[in-house]
Amino acid sequence: MRHGWEVSAEAWIASLGQRGDWGREHVLDPVMLSRVAAGRFGRALDVGCGEGRFCRMLKAAGVAATGIDPTLQLLEVARQRDPTGDYRSGNAEQLEFEAASFDLVVSYLTLIDIVDFRTAINEMARVLKPGGSLLIANLTGFTSASADRGWVKDAEGRHLHFPVDRYLEEFPFWFEWAGIRIQNWHRPLAAYMTALLESGLQLTFFAEPGPVSGDAAHQERARRVPWFVVMEWRRAPAG
């Protein structure tokens, strides 16, 4: 079993739907798509594409996308939903593409799944063309540090605060919801930033986005404790 995705694939597909979960639809998609539009990219690699949702969004934005994922059940659904798409079995730690193959590489909530994320980041940087961008959506470290415990609530179920513990460590944890049980990794932001800097990429965009739509209760909690960070890193142009 790879981090629980094989046994959780069916539940994940049912939970995600065509529009994505709440955080993707109302928080991350607007930021990610605005960066895609600003870059005028031609060819993209979606690392950890799952059932192909963001690849389809890239295609709709006029970007030719290749998706890779190690979970065959998710790839099957991706191909069913996008028969003309390019979906391949693969791992982030060993990308089977030539150097400088893509002008955009996307990691949409996938670094938290990858054990050897440092090697994966180096691989993503390797396949970027000069001047190309690595676009990352990830969990914030202060939420992933205690994501398996979640909000502290009072006797009436009101959300009091979100705990933070063991922030500077790197460790896996099991996350469960809606019949899904997967293993994610907590790492402090500095671990990701250091790996990205050491890969030779340059930070060009950074945001901790809040919701722009959705129901009021979710919006209120998402503003109290932002779950996500979006970063764009660029490979230096040739010459």
Confidence of residue 18 (pLDDT cuts 50, 70, 90): low
pLDDT tens by residue, 51-103? 999 999 999 999 999 999 999 999 999 999 999 999 999 999 999 999 999 99
Please give the backbone phi and psi of residue 108, each rounded to the nearest 5 degrees, phi first: -100, 95
Cα separation, 94 vs 28, whole angstroms: 27
Instruction: Give me the residue spans of the domains in the chain.
Output: 5-234
pLDDT tens by residue, 91-125? 999 999 999 999 999 999 999 999 999 999 999 99
Provide, rounded to the nearest whole percent, the portion of the chain with pLDDT above 70: 97
Does the pLDDT value for residue 141 go beyond 50? yes
Q: For domain 5-234, say whether CATH 3.90.1150.10 is its number.
A: no
The pLDDT value recorded for residue 178 is: 75
Contact indicator for 57, 33 with CB cutoff of 8 Å: yes
The pLDDT value recorded for residue 1 is: 42
